[in-house]
Amino acid sequence: MEVIVSDTPQESARLAADVITALYRDKPDAVLGVATGSSPVWVYDELGRRVGAGELTMAAGQAFMLDEYVGLAADHPQRYRHVIDRDFTAKVDLPADRVHGPDGLADDLAAACAAYEDQIREAGGVDLQLLGIGTDGHIAFNEPGSSLASRTRIKTLTAQTRADNARFFDGDVDAVPRHCLTQGVGTIMDARHIVLLANGRAKAEAVHHLVEGPVTAMWPGSVLQFHPHVTVFLDPAAASRLQLASYFVEAARGKPDWQGF
Ligand SMILES: N[C@@H]1[C@@H](O)[C@H](O)[C@@H](COP(=O)(O)O)O[C@@H]1O
């Protein structure tokens, strides 16, 4: 696991965008895994800027979302489909019909989950998965206690996650759905490169468990310690509980070239 502590979230986002830019240069039809939440938004802004400036094209790519709420009305602005359309797809040149997500309005949710797994496999798997992390250590919507081998399925959200996400529902926790469809931990682990961003002190405990804790389903992000290619971008506040923080900062200073993680 490579851990990079930057001075600001914006600098982390630029570095993450460098990794994605390098991927699309090498592989124009690359498959990107996209995440909702505030953590990746600056990455999407930077990708959009680069596409606009002619420095990057994702036009031959595909993207797969991590998760979706169950039962939110088709036109609800907080459906992750709409969030990704607004935060990511609208900014880049990747055609909207090549951005896929699990169908939280399907009549048969289990079948929709299985179909989504098939779709990812048929696309050749995810080349680079962008991730955030919840304050309780969840990745996508794999809450504490999730099987570390899980595949895309229906999950119940914890009270903590619903409280965290109430800010997107005018502060009304009762408006936050109780269920979601989410890629499983095992599905995420199949991605060839995982790039996780975390910012702010509220993430410091989850980041500590992710990087330094024992691998446990109680902190699902910790399973990334078993993945051969993970890059974690942190701001100083998110890194503040790492025992190895000064080591990571020193290592970053000695690094001559950020390209080619
Ligand atoms: N399902 C998403 C996760 O994919 C995301 O990582 C998490 C953290 O969001 P933020 O980046 O806004 O802190 O929020 C949601 O629960």
Copy the structure tokens of residue 156.
């119940």
> Which residues, listed in sequence order, are joined to residue 194 by a DSSP beta bridge?
129, 230
- Provide ipTM, 2 decimals: 0.95
Sorted by where each starts, the structural domains of the chain and their CATH numbers stand as: 2-253 (3.40.50.1360)
- The answer to whether the CB of 37 is under 6 A from ligand 1 is yes
Residue 259 has pLDDT above 50, yes or no: no
Single pTM value for the model: 0.95
List, for residues 206-249, the tens digit of each pLDDT value: 999 999 999 999 999 999 999 999 999 999 999 999 999 888 88
From 164, 232, 234, the mutation candidate for ligand 1 (largest count of ligand atoms within 8 A of CB) is 164
Q: Is the Cα dihedral 131, 135, 141, 145 positive or negative?
A: positive
In tens, the pLDDT along 48-90 reads 999 999 999 999 999 999 999 999 999 999 999 999 999 999 9
Whether residue 85 lies in the annotated active site: no
Whether 43 and 152 have beta carbons less than 8 Å apart is answered as no
Measured by CA distance, the residue closest to atom 8 of ligand 1 is 134
Q: Is 46 annotated in the active site?
A: no
- The runs of H, that is alpha helices, within 104-203 are 109-122, 159-165, 185-189
143 is catalytic: yes
Helix axes 9-26, 41-52, angle to 10 degrees: 50
Q: Does an H or E element contain 99, and which?
A: strand 99-100
| Binding site membership of 143 for ligand 1 (Cβ less than 6 Å) | no
